[in-house]
Structure 1
Amino acid sequence: MPIFHISHFLNLNFKIKMGISNKVYGVVMMIVYCGLFVVSYSLFETGETRLTLDYYAKTCPNVLQIVRKEMECAVLSEPRNAALVVRLHFHDCFVQGCDGSVLLDDTITLQGEKKASNNIHSLKGFRIIDRIKNSIESECPGIVSCADILTIAARDAVILVGGPYWDVPLGRKDSTSASYELANTNLPSANEGLLSIISKFLYQGLSVTDMVALSGAHTIGMARCENFRQRIYGDFDATSDPNNPISRSYIEKLRSICPLVGKTGENNITAMDNMTPELFDSSYFQMLMRGEGVLNSDQELYSSLLGIETKALVKKYAADPIAFFQQFSDSMVKLGNITNSDSFVNGEVRKNCRFINT
């Protein structure tokens, strides 16, 4: 992992902004995050690659078929399960790398990541991974890691709702630790600014292009009222067309789901893509171009004054679904290749994805 922490960048962000105009600030921060990308990318690229496509060819040759069958059942019963599994994978990889740490339950001796502020209300789908693990353990006991299961399941989840295919390198080990603290700091939040989100992706070795493409997974995601209230009672009117009756109807619907005051609607949800919420496609980017992104962090990709590159990418993917699919596939491989070096030395293959082996 990079030797600097994300807070170093954010402190620099604040110090720069305090002393210069907004225009100069934007130019300086673009230079900073481009420089940060070079450092972060080089650190990840020099790491030894331990993952291979045929890792389980001899020890558990049917692993891909088992995962696919279980995911088919899960998505057929509830299409929303596809988004839940993809989100689980993302939240796992952004904390300690893709090591299955997000799957660990709290115990007397271990504080897991599930109750971190960025996870406690947004992560579900754990039982799906449990079912897959149980099926694989029946055929190949002690062979396939939970981290690998989650990575394969995320790929299959995307395919099953119309998204692209990609090969999944395998060979991850499950960590024997988790990080509640990193789950609170490394993961982007719904109301975060563009530069802060960019810096969090760069810290993981992911580019701005990766960030925009991976954000496209919100085409099948759902959002809680708590996470989009600030957006719909904030600058939604400014980014969308107030004279468009469809836009007006949409914002009225969102506000009926999520009232301005009171906590009665905190857990009410809405699709982040109201056009085709159960289909993995590029309509999410078309919504951003209309100024109708549900989350502040999403709309920032298109509407932020500092988002010159991200705005161009949103336009590209909105117009060219094939380009989006290709980049999403490449970016998901990069995401899955964020590994926990310690897990290769001290890691294990958990018998139960929720607990470290005893």
Structure 2
Amino acid sequence: MKSKKILVVDDSAFMRKLISEFLSEHPDLEVIASARNGHDAVKKAIELKPDVITLDIEMPEMNGLEALKLIMDKQPCPVVMLSSITKEGTDTTLKAMEMGAVDFIAKPSRAISLDLHKIKDILIEKVLAAAKANISMKPVLAAKPTVIESFVQTNPGQRDRMTFPFQYKKMDKIVLIATSTGGPRALQHVITKLPAALLAPVVIVQHMPASFTKSLADRLDSLSDMRVKEAEDGEILQKGTAYIAPGGYHLKLRKVGSSIVVTLDQTDPEGGHRPAANVTFRSASAIQGVEKVTVIMTGMGTDGADGLIKLKETGVVKAIAESKETCVVYGMPKAAVATHLVDEIVPVDEIAVTIVKYVNDKR
């Protein structure tokens, strides 16, 4: 007997049929119904109480975001969004993540296309993961969170993020963050609380396709005191700035003099991921004279655990893992904790203050 009931929502009859056929091939998934628009989706979600909903973003009458809000209010369940790879589509997808969607899938094209066969395995994998996801974590608040004060004082109310004198001093610490499923929402809980005067750069590996990472960086930048940007090949890391690895590229770090420089490449995916946190962590482990604060947050799989082992073998590292109760998927943090190398396990709302504590520690 198939255990997980799926509701498929898309305005295209062809897409509804194709997605339903893909999912039905898996022995643990049963498509119990489909819906052609947001109104139909909300009605069937309440009536049928599915275990997972796949929800198209762009639909007539009521779009995916409007439907998602009503579903999360009336009959909360894990939702996987289907998004077009456009600027508008990526921005809307991130809003859906903030509102409680578990994950998303980027359609190869918006037009009806057999290209969807290319993401069949990803679709099944993400729906299976969503069926096990924790959707109890509170949505990101619309109001700007309170930023944690650093011991470096700046002019009150001034958001000059480019001219802090400490940016160009010798770098002695770096923050490395790894996350996957549920990561965009978790990152918003963390990055928006970090001060612009943080005495370290922050390097983020979020498993996402190309173009989505740029939208994520722009979104976090607009909400944060800290500067947030998509990392570029060859740039020098600056304190008080967060860098997100671009989708489709591994991000590696190397030391040049007293600076740390970003290298991007398209070598083979690792563990099915590019970017992969293990790749970034291993490259950071070769950098001597720089302490690392490592954070592994919500995500499916084990990425980051092997890299953490390498980091601990080669330098001074403080490791933080997100606790199970706030993870959307307790995979990556669980694997990190299993190494017995994690220093603190904390809920997502306490990660930022823990980062600041370790960065400010001058022992």
Q: RCO higher in 1 or 2 (8 Å CA, sep ≥ 6)?
A: 1
Specify which structure has the higher proportion of helix. 1
Task: Check whether TM > 0.5.
Answer: no
Q: How high is the TM-score relative to the length of structure 1?
A: 0.28
